[in-house]
Each structure stands twice: as C-alpha cells, then as structure tokens.
Amino acid sequence: MATAKMSVRPEDLSHIPQGAERIPEAGIMVIFGASGDLTKRKLLPALFHLEQVGLLPKNFTILGVARRPLGDEFAADMRAGIVEFGDVDVSDPKLNDFVERIAYFPLRFDVPDDYAGLKTELDRIDKEKNLGGHRLFYLATAPEFFAGIIENLGAQNMAQPEHGQVGVVIEKPFGHDLESARELNRQVNAVFHESQVFRIDHYLGKETVQNILVFRFANGIFEPVWNRNYIDHVQITAAETLGVEGRGPFYEKAGALRDVVQNHMMELLSFVAMEPPSSFDAEAVRREKVKVWRAIPPVPIKDAVRGQYGPGIVEGKRAAGYRDEERVNPESGTETFAALRLEIENWRWAGVPFYLRAGKRLKRRATEISIQFKQPPLLIFNRMASQAACQEIQPNLLTIRIQPDEGISLRFGAKVPTTPNMDVCPVIMDFDYEAAFGKSSANGYERLLLDAMLGDQTLFSHRDGVEINWALYTPIIEAWAAKMPEVFPNYFAGTWGPECSDHLLERWGHKWRNDLGRKA
C-alpha cells in the first residue's frame, strides 16, 4: 500500500513556549510503596525528565516510604532506575544533584505511630529546605493499603495542614468492583477534599492520547464527519506481547477486564466519543467524559468474551501458558484477554458499535483506535476495476496509533496510474510522531506528575467517572466469576486471541483489524 508522509516545519514549533509558567512551587513528593517497581521504572525517570527540562522547582524533594529498612541504597537504586528506564546518560550533569534530593523513610503502613514519625520527618525536611508545607502523597502500594494510609494521614492532620497545598495521587486499581470503589471513594473523601485527589490513569499522560482531543477539537474538518452519519464502527485494541511479568498474585485477582478495559480503554473511548468541552479545564472535560460513559447501556453478557493464553511463540520466543506463570493457580479461571461490543446511546453515536479488546501475550504490541467510515453510497468504480490491479474498494479508515509507532494515518482510495481502467487502490497518508517531532523518552508520567503538583485535575479521574465505569463492568465481572469458562486456555500465546473474539465481530458483520502498527 502506498504511503504519504507528513512532517512538521521547525518554524511552526518556534513560537511554542517552553513551559516556564508551569513550574510548581517547591515541595516534597512522598511516595508510599517506593520500593516497588513503579517508582524506579516510571516515577523517578519521569521526575528526572522534568528536572532535565527545568520544570521542577529548585528545592523539590522526594521521600520514598516503604516497609523495608533501607538507607542510602534506596537513592542508589533509584539512580540506577533513572539511567536504565529513563534512557538517561550516567554522566548527565544534573543526575548527581537530583539523586541527592532523594531520601527514604521506613514505615509500616498499618502502624499509626509510624505516621507520627513520618510527620515529624516531613516537618523537619520542610523547615530545612523551606518547602512552605507543599506536599504530594503518592500511593503506589498494593491497593489494599490505600484506605489505611489515607486514614492515618488524616489522623495525623497531614491531609489538611495549616500551611501549603497538599494533594494525594492514587494509583489504579481504584477498587475491584462498584461496591469497593464506592467505599474507597467514601474513605478518601472523608479525609481529602475532592479537589486534592488525583486518581491516576497513566494512559492519560500519553501524548498520543491527549492528541486525540487536539486532533478532534483543534481541527475543523474532522468534527462534521465524527458521528453516526459517517462512521460505521470503532475498534479500540490494547494488545501486549508481555505476559504477567512476575505479577501473578496481582493479576490473578485483576484479569484483563479490571486491569486495562475498565480504566485505560474507557478513557480512550471517552476521548474518541465525547462532545467538545467548553474549555480544556478539569470540570468541562470531566463533565463531557462522564456524559459519554452514562450513555452506555449495560453490555449483554453475550457481547463480552474472554480468553486465557496457553503456551506459544511470541516475537520468535517460546512463551509459557498463563497457568504455568510464577505464582498463578494452575487451574486459574482469570482472563488474560477480554473483548466486547458496546454502544453509546446519544444523538452522535446511536447505532455505531464500539469494539474493545485487550490482551496479554498477543501477536504484536499495539494500542490503536480505528475509526472505520461508511462506504460511499454508490461504488461506481467497483464495476470497472480490473481484479488484477486493485483490491476491493475499502472504506476510509482513520487509525490513531497510541503506541508504539505513535501517529495517525488515513486510508483512502486512489486511482492506480497507467492502467486503462479506473482501478482503485487503498493508499495511506501517515503522520508519524517521531519523524515529525523527534524521539521522546517520556513515559507518560511526566505530564501527570507535573499536573498533580500544579493542582490541575483535567487528566485525572473524578469519583463519578470511576463509579460509572465500575457500574458498567461489575455485572460482567460477576457473571464471569460465577461461571468458570469451559475451555481455558483458549488461545495460543503469540496470536490475536481466542476464536470467540472473532466470532463476536462476525455476528455483527465486522472483522478485527489485525494489521496494527505502521510497520505491520
């Protein structure tokens, strides 16, 4: 298929301000569960990237908190993480100074006295570095500790101090069903005001996800066709080649629906489907997202299918089946793949199916949104086309590649030159992020951490949104839990998932796009 490239002219970038107005006030970030992978793989590299581009305040301090009695080795471990996962040169001149600002405090999450010690330590650091009482608590622990940590912060008056801005960032999963999410929201809001709460979904930190809104609302030509009159259906795929990577106990309780579909994929869907907000402020954006989610009727159980991988070959290497993974029940009924069809009952979308699919150990890593447009009403060239020169006329397809090969492409038909017939071939117009703007080592957390420090909640979930999404998925989760799947595992690692996923779309006359990725 022929491809046309699009690029950015340097003069178009020269007027973009470099963000000096977005430097937060000096403060401290307290990371609970700091000895876990997330801190060194994602959070610290992201903070260091912010430092590199001058977006961190001068005295900004990081305090890692976890149960283990660690000392200086914590900062050394974080340094190694920044270099390895942040793609940072060990000799970066800013690295040593940054690492000196990392400290560690051992704390048992369920021991109230330990929080009194933490408060004393925070006050000491605050005084020494003149941080004005600004604090951001980041909960990166296992989810069962969230409520207890929040309660203890409240009990020690750390949530509503006399001076400074205080916020709390809460990692996913936020609850495990509707009831537990409601309970957690109640516990959080008993201590923190909603304006202090940042429920994080790292997908919203990805440039390509934010770009969905820019694509739709900073351009005039797409909105008029962005509706049921022109769009046939939408597919959203989040395919991973990775397995559970040693997270067996977590994943056994989560499964694909809770881990990725209920949160990341629903965020993607809301950006594709929402009405234009009146502005890009938190309230306006969240209001429109919630309207989309509320307009989704319950998903009939036959329109949701699940899968679990067996052994197979992924990217040329042998991969074990899910049941053989470390610390996974050998008879596990947990789904590592989920696909479903849903509709959005509003004037823009009524009758347009949205298909969602997410899975581990699939054929290729690709998170993509495909907007398939309707065929033209009359295919006048079809009759004349010589079969040899062209394929069947294909409908226009807009593809938003969230990752990897980040970009956007539009497929349309073009006349094949030199043949005597009106032969039509699909061609692709492609925008490639890296080619246009250069390679980025950002991992998505940079933007969200900075926003949280600045108190900007636009890219974070609100309590209503979390509960609406759990309300949609809890009946499916319960139905699946009540009935063990008959044939598990039902797909080989390294394929596009179980047959029931293909059948789901076939029932509606559709087919999954499996040619995902620009290099596919």
Catalytic positions, written as ranges? 264
Q: How far is Cα 202 from Cα 264, in angstroms, rounded to an integer?
A: 8
Min dist. Cβ of residue 78 to ligand BG6 (A):
20
Give CA–CA dist 426/441, Å, rounded.
Answer: 33
Site string for ligand BG6, 328-367 (x = CB under 6 A): ---------------------------------------x
Identify any residues that bridge with 160 across adjacent strands, giving them in sequence order: none
Q: Which of 162, 118, 113, 95 is nearest to 30 (CA)?
A: 118
Using the structure block, give the residue that is written with the tokens 């008879």: 331
Q: How many CB atoms lie within 10 A of CB 364?
A: 19
Considering the complex, what minimum distance in angstroms separates the CB of residue 325 from ligand BG6? 13
Minimum CB separation of residue 100 from ligand BG6 in Å reads 30
Output the six-digit token pair for 1.
Answer: 């298929």
Residue pair 341/508 in contact by the 8 Å Cβ criterion:
yes
Using CB under 6 A as the criterion, what x/- string covers residues 140-179 for binding ligand BG6? Answer: --------------------------------x-------
Contact criterion met (CB below 8 Å) for 355 and 512: yes
Question: Please, what is the minimum distance in Å from the beta carbon of residue 422 to ligand BG6?
Answer: 43
Min dist CB 266 to ligand BG6, Å, is 13
Closest residue to ligand BG6, Cβ-based?
A: 259
How far apart are the C-alpha atoms of 82 and 359, rounded to whole Å? 28
Residue 260 beta carbon to ligand BG6: minimum distance, rounded to whole angstroms: 6
CB nearer to ligand BG6: give 196 or 262. 262
Cα end-to-end distance, the chain, whole Å: 11
Contact call for residue 240 and ligand BG6 (CB under 6 A) = yes
Is the Cβ of residue 61 or residue 241 nearer to ligand BG6 in the bound state? Answer: 241
CB nearer to ligand BG6: give 15 or 439: 439
The 198-217 site mask, x for binding ligand BG6 (CB under 6 A), equals ----x---------------
Sequential DSSP letters for 5-55: EE---HHHHTTS---GGGPPPS-EEEEETTTSHHIIIIIHHHHHHHHHTT-
Cα–Cα distances (Å) from 476 to 111, 307, 360, 489, in that order, read: 37, 14, 19, 19
Residues 44-103 that bind ligand BG6 (CB under 6 A): none
Closest CA to 106 of 91, 92, 121: 121
Residues 364-403 that bind ligand BG6 (CB under 6 A): 367
> Phi and psi at residue 426, in whole multiples of 5°?
-70, 135
Q: How far is CA 89 from CA 78, 333, 441, in A?
A: 14, 44, 12
For the bound state, the minimum distance from the C-beta of residue 360 to ligand BG6, rounded and expressed in Å, comes to 7
Instruction: Rank residues 174 and 349 by Cβ distance to ligand BG6 and give the closer one.
Output: 174
DSSP codes, 89-103: -TT-TTHHHHHHTEE
Q: How many residues bind ligand BG6 (CB under 6 A)?
A: 6
Q: How far is the CB of 436 from ligand BG6 (least distance, A)?
A: 21
In the complex with ligand BG6, which residue's Cβ is closer, 196 or 443? 443
Q: Which is nearer to ligand BG6, 353 or 465 (CB)?
A: 465
The torsion defined by the Cα of 267, 269, 273 and 277, in degrees rounded to 10, comes to 10
Q: Which is nearer to ligand BG6, 255 or 413 (CB)?
A: 255
Both tokens of 143, joined, read 């989810």
Closer of 256 and 410 to ligand BG6 (Cβ): 256
Task: Provide the token pair at 443.
Answer: 């991992």
**Coil, helix or strand for 430?**
strand
Binding site for ligand BG6 (CB under 6 A): 172, 202, 240, 259-260, 367
